[in-house]
Amino acid sequence: MPPPKSKEVLTEIAESLNMSKGSESYNTLFDLAAISHIPTHLLTDQSVLEKLPVFFRTLRGAKPTREELEKILKIVKEDGK
């Protein structure tokens, strides 16, 4: 069974597990649910997998370093070819 796409459902799950919003376990729950919606061909690329934590932190508002951002952009550009 795939994880829910709904933020509301994920929030209910987190609350029922007593996860505090913004905690590491809360963020991990949302990150793992999001991974299931990433195209399979990207998940088989080790360099993409290594960048996912930075990508998810960025989505949550944590700023990546310039180096991390450049690596992500390189991967996205290469995938578009």
Q: What residue type is 47 in one-letter code? A: S
Determine the Cα–Cα distance for residues 54 and 58; give it in Å rounded to an integer. 6
Q: What is the pTM of this model?
A: 0.61
Q: What is the pLDDT of residue 8?
A: 93
Give pLDDT, residue 15.
96
| pLDDT at residue number 79 | 66
Confidence at residue 80, expressed as pLDDT on a 0 to 100 scale: 61
Q: pLDDT at position 10, please?
A: 93
pLDDT at 21: 92
Write down the pLDDT at residue 74: 81
> Which tokens belong to 42?
């990207």
Q: Which residues of the chain, if any, have pLDDT below 70? A: 64, 79-81
Kindly give the residue spans of alpha helices, DSSP state H, lying in 1-81: 7-16, 24-35, 40-43, 46-59, 66-79
Length of the chain: 81
